[in-house]
Amino acid sequence: MSRIHNFSAGPSMLPEEVLQQAREEMLDWRGSGMSVMEMSHRGKQFMSIAAAMKNDLIELLAIPDNYQVLFLQGGASAQFSLIPQCLLNGRTQAAYVNTGSWSTAAIREAGKYCRVQLAASAESNRFTHIPAFADWTLDADAAYLHYTSNETIHGVEFSAIPETGDVPLVCDMSSNILSRPADISRYGLIYAGAQKNMGPSGVTVVIVRNDLLDLAGGSVPPVFDYRQQADADSMLNTPPTYNWYLLGLVLQWLKTQGGIAAIEQRNIRKAGRLYQAIDASALYSNPVDPACRSRMNVPFVLADAALDKTFLTQAEQNGLGSLQGHRSVGGMRASIYNAMPEAGVDALIDFMAEFERTH
Amino acid sequence: MSRIHNFSAGPSMLPEEVLQQAREEMLDWRGSGMSVMEMSHRGKQFMSIAAAMKNDLIELLAIPDNYQVLFLQGGASAQFSLIPQCLLNGRTQAAYVNTGSWSTAAIREAGKYCRVQLAASAESNRFTHIPAFADWTLDADAAYLHYTSNETIHGVEFSAIPETGDVPLVCDMSSNILSRPADISRYGLIYAGAQKNMGPSGVTVVIVRNDLLDLAGGSVPPVFDYRQQADADSMLNTPPTYNWYLLGLVLQWLKTQGGIAAIEQRNIRKAGRLYQAIDASALYSNPVDPACRSRMNVPFVLADAALDKTFLTQAEQNGLGSLQGHRSVGGMRASIYNAMPEAGVDALIDFMAEFERTH
């Protein structure tokens, strides 16, 4: 068996230690005689797995007591629809910031439920920067302000949390949650699909401040209603139990790595070295304002696009997988989430240098 | 390692061969250098897994060409809300049949969207039988008729498909799909959570006839919209990839067992022996009309409820797990889905006889 360095944007690579533990426990979780995926979600074994998973997330993110932590289904895309339905609370508009493909998708969906006030947009700049907070326009009547803390396709990431006064701040944190510290108390609601930094796909984490919980209207199916799921500890119906278990294993792994503060330092080193290699090269380039470059997703293009296919083929041959850029923007993309070891980034940098030397 | 016989109602036991294969492929799926849960859902490897899984389901259930097969999130409970939203199509009422806890839950949710016409109900009989089709009242103006083909809590199962004329027939088949043949062409829509007969929790199968596909209204989030998901082959957003893979392994296993016709015979033998043992005993009893008894979920009570706790403790000690009845009805319940081997049922019968002899 030979494991590759997997740069997929999501679902994405997981720590090998997590996969090894899942393998060992596959037929018999700790003497229970069952796989975790065979356990009743109401049984004591699975309840203990679920509780540890939730507590580890609360600990790692330092989530304050006045927040509920929910584990739902449907992905971040379901939340694009559910957030306006749940948080408008009779208001007719919500503010959105457009920094790339994912905020664009959230805006498109919100427009079905309310007037979208565009507080800031980088669209005219082809999503290569983040508009300065001082230039944002935020209507005080907005039910909330929504932004995407990291854009996986355009490789743009916020390095600070926007200040929105009394307007609740809502964040799609799918692709950089747990990669850097975040002051949760600044947010009204955070949501994130698991399949980048937290585990396999199939779980959506929602962290919601208590005062926003009661706003959900009756038109949302109960399994997506924040209040009802909070009251049921996210078990209003059968949850995706094995996905919860794997998320829990990733969180335990993160704790053994020293938690978010330590993983952030590693992420800074990884991204720093890769951007440095790109900037120093004549063949590769990244268009994003250096102050807004993502630590998680590093898109880059080759000066000669005719070399793209050769680059990808030779990368695969060198054990570097899933480097093709998103179909909407082309080029290359290296996603280097928490689970990507520094050695994987170094192998990519070495390959890129060798490829440039020989082409 | 010692595997127990696991009688959980769901999530429930899986074939050991499936778990072994998942274990073997955990760190490296067929030389890809990746776990399936690390693969991009748009990559060629995962696309092949998804296509094989879908084709195997179509083959096993003999799903006609004029149906779409969708793999969604949210469980059957989400469908309780989505079905009326998607299928009412301007009508104001839908017909429901109440045969137990799960149809009751579906009816409660549908009542938020339309007038529910109760075509038949076994509630007055404490859900111990299924009203004869001849006694059903079906309003021709109903948008559809909904029934639950197997009630996991009350242990009641339909042995024939209701005839509803031009009114589309909708079925919650969560707990007996793939356990017996079903003429799919009789249905407008079938839905089923995976965690009983198909795999781990986190996937909901929806089989919908083409003419019903276009009815979905704009108020449903796109990821739950049958038409949009059909057009995207259930990949409008990132699906729960590992859950799909495991579902695929279960379907492959079912084919090695001889498909549905063969598994039905095994299920008939398993349920037949267990009910026979219960009926022949002075200690155990099952209240359900023999013509409507479920082959999947066998609830039974002890003549002396004071013995319940001892029964469960000793069963656990004998490697027979999760026999406690649902909290809403008490007593015992043995769920014996496809994956439960005949030896597991025989072990339970032997234990029950020995317990009766000594108490």
Question: Residue B298 maps to which CATH number?
Answer: 3.90.1150.10
- Of B142, B193, B194, B185, give the one whose Cα is nearest residue B161: B185
3-state secondary structure of B296: coil
For chain B, the domain total comes to: 2
Beta-sheet pairing, B332-335 with B297-302: antiparallel
- Residues B260-287 have a mean pLDDT of 98
Residues A248 and A276 in one domain: no
User: One of B102, B136, B244, B253 is an active-site residue; which one?
Assistant: B102
Question: Catalytic site residues of A?
Answer: 102, 172, 196
Determine contact, residues B21/B249, Cβ cutoff 8 Å.
yes
- Residues B239-253 have a mean pLDDT of 98
Confidence class of residue B66 from pLDDT cuts 50, 70 and 90? very high
Question: Which residues pair with residue B43 across a beta bridge?
Answer: none
Question: Which residues pair with residue B171 across a beta bridge?
Answer: B147, B190
Give the distance from residue A135's alpha carbon to the nearest chain B alpha carbon, in angstroms: 32
Is pLDDT above 70 for B216? no
**pLDDT at residue number B329:** 87
- Mean confidence (pLDDT) of chain B: 96
Confidence class of residue A59 from pLDDT cuts 50, 70 and 90? very high
The answer to the question of residue A252 being in a domain is yes
Residue that finishes a domain, picked among A256, A285, A310:
A256
Residue to test with chain A: of B8, B114, B242, most A Cβ within 10 A: B242
Residues A239 and A147 in one domain: yes
- Mean confidence (pLDDT) of chain A: 96
- Residues B31-60 have a mean pLDDT of 97
Residues B274 and B249 in one domain: no
Strand order in the sheet with A169-172: A67-72, A204-209, A189-193, A169-172, A145-148, A93-98, A115-121
**Cα A262 off chain centre by:** 18
Write the pLDDT tens digit of every residue in A121-166. 999 999 999 999 999 999 999 999 999 999 999 999 999 999 999 9
Residue that finishes a domain, picked among B256, B272, B298:
B256
Determine contact, residues B14/B250, Cβ cutoff 8 Å.
yes
Which residues from chain A sit within 8 angstroms of residue B238, using beta carbons? 10-11, 75, 193, 195, 201
B19 Cβ under 8 Å from any chain A Cβ: yes
Confidence class of residue B355 from pLDDT cuts 50, 70 and 90? very high
The answer to the question of residue B288 being in a domain is yes
The answer to the question of residue A11 being in a domain is no
Is pLDDT above 90 for A2? no
Question: In whole angstroms, what is the distance from residue B4 CA to residue A44 CA?
Answer: 16
Which residues, numbered 72 to 101 in chain B, qualify as contacts with chain A under a Cβ-Cβ cut-off of 8 Å? 73-78, 80-82
Residues B155 and B292 in one domain: no
**pLDDT at residue number B328:** 87
Write the pLDDT tens digit of every residue in B274-289. 999 999 999 999 999 9
Residue that finishes a domain, picked among A230, A256, A282:
A256
Inspect the interface and report whether the beta carbons of A41 and B201 lie closer than 8 Å. yes
B13 Cβ under 8 Å from any chain A Cβ: yes
- Residues B161-170 have a mean pLDDT of 97
How many CB pairs lie under 8 A apart between chains A and B?
209
Is pLDDT above 80 for B324? yes
The answer to the question of residue A16 being in a domain is no
Residues B276 and B246 in one domain: no
A237 Cβ under 8 Å from any chain B Cβ: yes
**pLDDT at residue number B218:** 58
Inspect the interface and report whether the beta carbons of A37 and B14 lie closer than 8 Å. yes
Give the distance from residue A353's alpha carbon to the nearest chain B alpha carbon, in angstroms: 24
Q: What are phi and psi of B159, to 5 degrees?
A: -105, -5
The answer to the question of residue B73 being in a domain is yes
Residues B275 and B232 in one domain: no
**Residue A357 burial by Cβ neighbours in a 10 Å radius (0-12, 13-18, 19+):** exposed
Question: Residue A250 maps to which CATH number?
Answer: 3.40.640.10
Q: Which domain holds residue A166?
A: 25-256
**pLDDT at residue number A355:** 98
A314 Cβ under 8 Å from any chain B Cβ: no
Write the pLDDT tens digit of every residue in B37-46. 999 999 999 9
